[in-house]
Structure 1
């Protein structure tokens, strides 16, 4: 993770919308403790992992409506935090759960929809793992730097 010159934040690449994420970080009174943003992000990680389990179950049971709802739910949380790649994968899950392509065209073939959702869940989990690692390092680094200053 290289430093992002204009914000002082690490460069999360296309994973994170730095402008949105910076607004979350601005809510912290203490840039080391991150008493607002850190619990918010850690709760998101827990929520996402629970949602992945529900998605896997719904995929096995071929419940497109439920997959769409779960995609919509996680898309909102990830968008609020600026987690772009997670948001985008959730959009795909939501759309195909409604039997629509990402462009909004009808996709009547349920097998195609399930296949697209399965691929999106795979990408979602990979992106989530990378993001979780980067953000846990970000939050722990600030705390470790503070501890070493004492």
Structure 2
């Protein structure tokens, strides 16, 4: 195969530098290729071995660290548990209780709206409302006041 490449590209021989030694002389020491310090390190070899094993198993390179994946998994499970508990709580309530809760929520909302309106109202309107509340007495209170003791 190498000979075929040489036949196809004869101009490469003129470009390439020839070694200073002759291949046939056994007395000469041939230079060795220098080792890459990164590839020679144990951690790199272990990482490479692990990547090969994962590739053979069909596992892809994971983009997220293990800790982040575990935390996301826990959050997801916690949200699912909360939703299930809320649904169960809703199912356990009777229709009567649900209606009472709806009415209570509506009343609370109306009270909040009235408080907001009162806060935004001018001061003379607030004073007038207070006077109305103090001046209007129920029928029972009027009768109780008019009766002599």
TM-score w.r.t. the length of structure 2 is: 0.23
Higher Cα Rg: structure 1 or 2?
2
Structure with larger RCO (C-alpha < 8 A, sep 6+): 1
TM-score w.r.t. the length of structure 1 is: 0.23
